[in-house]
Amino acid sequence: MLVVIKLMTYQKLVELMISLNYKKQQNNYNIVLIDGVNIVDMTNTYIGRDVVIGHDTTIEPGCIIKGKTVIGNGCHIGPYCEFDNVEIKDNVEIKFSVIADSIIENGVDIGPYARLRNHCHILENVHMGNFVEMKKATFGKGSKAAHLSYIGDATVGENVNIGCGTITSNYDGKNKFQTVIEDNVFVGCNSNLVAPVTVGKNAFIAAGSTITDEVHEDAFAIARSRQVNKEGYSKVLEEKRNKIGK
């Protein structure tokens, strides 16, 4: 059954649940449409009194939405998201993620298992995948961080690729430092960007690099030890392990 009312407000939400006697009849009312907002399971969704949600947005079960969060039109939220003071624009998809004090622009997809905090600004058409954390970061249009990365105290330009396992090393134990990654940069997997550091436009960071100095525009940076193969040495190591084990 769909129930339609005109305003998505906390008071209307309370009135709706009372009028439907929802707790006793939850099996009959498992989808509720409030001014075009599709709340899949009212008994497993928590929405604060100052929250605003736009038309044609779906809220999946397990979501906790609080503070002065604003969610735009045509979004798909959840399952199992927690938002606190977040501004989410239109056509955004977020699942299994925790976000606080941040702005998410149009067409972004986030999750599962991402975390954003401390005034992040995620620009249009960004892809942020599983196990990505950002803190006090601006992430440019069309950029990607697909998985397993930490981007903190950073400004990232447009169309940047952040490889798996990349971190901005922003903390020296006392102070925080900035990382700047300009447009069209490719950062290979398992790279450490030791702040303060700037990576110029169109630069390429080789996988496994630890970058401590500025990388200029159009440059290729590689900062890792050269591989050394010791032929036949695995047998020597095996003999040593066997002696220790006796």
The residue written with tokens 């970058």 in the block is: 211
> In the structure encoding, which two tokens stand for residue 206, read together?
């080789």
d(CA 63, CA 80): 5
Residues 6+ apart with CB under 8 A from 180: 154, 155, 197, 198, 199
> In the structure encoding, which two tokens stand for residue 93, read together?
């998809």
- The count of C-alpha atoms lying within 13 angstroms of the C-alpha of 195, restricted to the half-sphere facing its C-beta, is 20
Q: Check residue 86 and report its DSSP letter.
A: E
Q: DSSP 3-state assignment of 192? A: strand
147 is catalytic: yes
55, 119, 147, 216: the catalytic one is: 147
d(CA 16, CA 7): 11
Task: Note whether 96 and 110 are within 8 A (CB).
Answer: no
> In the structure encoding, which two tokens stand for residue 195, read together?
């702040």
Give catalytic residue positions. 147
